[in-house]
Amino acid sequence: MIVASEFAYQRRRMVRRLEKEFGVRDARVLAAMGKVPRHRFVRPHLRSQAYSLHALPIGEAQTISQPSVVARMTELLAVEPEHGVLEIGTGSGYQTAILGELARRVFSLEIVPGLAREAISRLRDLGYDNVKVQAFDGTLGLAQAAPYDRILVAAGAPAAPRPLLAQLAPGGRLVIPEGGRDVQQLVVYDYDKLAQTVRRRVGEEVRFVPLVGRHGWDKE
């Protein structure tokens, strides 16, 4: 059994690797990664691997993303303390917790009810009172709490769902993996308040589970 001090050491080591090997520079993102206990978001028999730099299964054919991808997407999102954030694809709740460390308020949607229930319990136990998780089709967004300063999609989509783009606040940003079911590229959408246009930038290749829903992929 690994004791808490060993988990803390492994977490510090993970953060150093994210900075030195993966070029993560945002001090607030690194601090959040250094604070959130990733071992609490994986299955008990996998906790010894919690701070390795790879994805791990969390059940329901879903995964917890590798820390480097979580850090990269969070850095691209550029969350400020006053921001309201919408996350699509709660999964285990790990990315949700990272966002909870950075934002004023986080709404997170998970289409698999069992994962949503587990994430709600886990985040409550860890004291994330500024986070709200719901079991819902994330491709529809959450109109009643819109607009959002930032939207992060933690699943691979064929294209950015129109409801999500419509729920961006002026000056807002959406980060999403776009592409096929197996391989995608990180895409950043910025809502230009003055021009009233959305600018699209394409980044590196990533691999996410498919975004299932009305404006995503059909369930296989």
The 3-state secondary structure of 149-168 reads EEEEECCEECCCCHHHHHCE
Q: Is residue 154 predicted with pLDDT exceeding 90?
A: yes
Placement of tokens 């993996």 in the chain? 177
Asked if 92 is an active-site residue, the reply is no
Q: Does the model's pTM come out above 0.75?
A: yes
Mean pLDDT of 148-177: 96
**What is the pLDDT, as a whole number, of residue 196?**
73
CATH of domain 4-206: 3.40.50.150
Options 48, 65, 68, 108, the catalytic residue: 65
Which letter does DSSP use for residue 218 in this model?
Answer: P
Number of other residues whose CB lies within 10 A of the CB of residue 186: 20
- Looking at per-residue pLDDT, the higher value among 164 and 5 belongs to 164
Phi, psi dihedrals of residue 146, rounded to the nearest 5°:
-75, 160
Phi, psi angle pair for 168, to nearest 5°: -75, 135
Could you read off the pLDDT of 166-207 as tens digits, one per residue? 999 999 999 999 999 989 999 999 988 666 778 899 999 999
